[in-house]
Structure 1
Amino acid sequence: MASLSSLSITFDCLDVETQSLFWAELLGAEIDSGANDYVASIGGVHNTESSTPGMLFLKVDERTEGKNPLHIDLDDPHYPADVDRAVSLGAQKLGSFDEYGIEWTTLKDPEGNLFDIGRRKLD
């Protein structure tokens, strides 16, 4: 029996404010109270009452370069509408793909974290 009860997606950040504001704007969410230069969250951290993961932003002095071992996939029923919005908020578009019955665009957030926006292809 699993004892895990919540999930948070954690970002190491050079600039906690920029990262948390970017993701809050993109998701139409609010930054949780208590945010500061070292830590911020969206959707609560260790929130056992939510069925969706919280997002945690932690200050680091330097980033470890390389491929992200984890990235976020965002479902956009009106794809690609939110791709343009993400770019206007500071994301960088890397490429668009259409495979396996799914269409998506891969982007980088302002600090280079990869994420995808897409949807299942319409029949």
Structure 2
Amino acid sequence: MAVSLYQLAVDAHDAKGLATFWARVLDWRLVYEDPEEVIIGADENALPGIVFLTVPEAKAGKNRLHIDLAPDDQAAEVERIIGLGARRVDVGQGDDVSWAVLADPEGNEFCVLRPKKSLLD
């Protein structure tokens, strides 16, 4: 039996707003939208995508699953993403880590890593 990753699902109070934020962060586009869900992807045929699902409740607690971003220039990307609506957050990571922890406009934590030389760094 074969399986592949199709998409990540993210609960959101404002699905379109959060999808738009993440599309800007990743330089992706909205590929599907209805009142209950908005899907973003590199294009209509690229996998995986991210689907933002409308839910009535706000986020509660620290995420158990989060996105890690690998930029060419960490400092520049952190500032660009903050300019899009993210904010720095402290999840107990300490001051001596090589990554920056941010939260999207609905409070979902994610990390911007230091630049990678290869996928195994």
Q: TM-score, normalised on structure 2?
A: 0.80
Counterpart CA distance in 2 for 1:58 and 1:11 is: 6
Q: % of aligned pairs identical?
A: 35
What is the one-letter code of the residue matched to 1:76? Answer: P
Instruction: Count how many residue pairs are aligned between Structure 1 and Structure 2.
Output: 113
What is the one-letter code of the residue matched to 2:61? Answer: G
Q: What are the equivalent positions in structure 2 for 1:66-77 lying under 5 Å apart?
A: 66-77=61-72
Structure 1 stretches of 5 or more lacking a match? none
Structure 2 stretches of 5 or more lacking a match? none
Query: Which runs of structure 1 show a deviation greater than 6 angstroms over 4 or more consecutive aligned residues?
Result: none
Aligned to 1:38: 36
Offset, 1:121: 7.1
> Is the Cα–Cα contact under 8 Å of residues 86 and 103 in structure 2 kept in the other structure?
yes
Q: Against the structure 1 CA distance between its residues 119 and 5, is the aligned structure 2 distance closer, same or farther, given a 3 Å change threshold? A: same
Q: Against the structure 1 CA distance between its residues 41 and 118, is the aligned structure 2 distance closer, same or farther, given a 3 Å change threshold? A: same
Normalized per residue, the structure richer in strand is: 1
Offset, 1:64: 4.7
What is the one-letter code of the residue matched to 1:94? Answer: V
RMSD value over aligned CA atoms? Answer: 2.4
What is the one-letter code of the residue matched to 1:111? Answer: E
Counterpart CA distance in 2 for 1:62 and 1:6 is: 27
Q: What are the equivalent positions in structure 2 for 1:1-123 lying under 5 Å apart?
A: 3-32=2-31, 34-43=32-41, 50=46, 53-94=48-89, 98-99=96-97, 103-120=98-115
Counterpart CA distance in 2 for 1:41 and 1:53 is: 10
> Is the Cα–Cα contact under 8 Å of residues 100 and 112 in structure 2 kept in the other structure?
yes
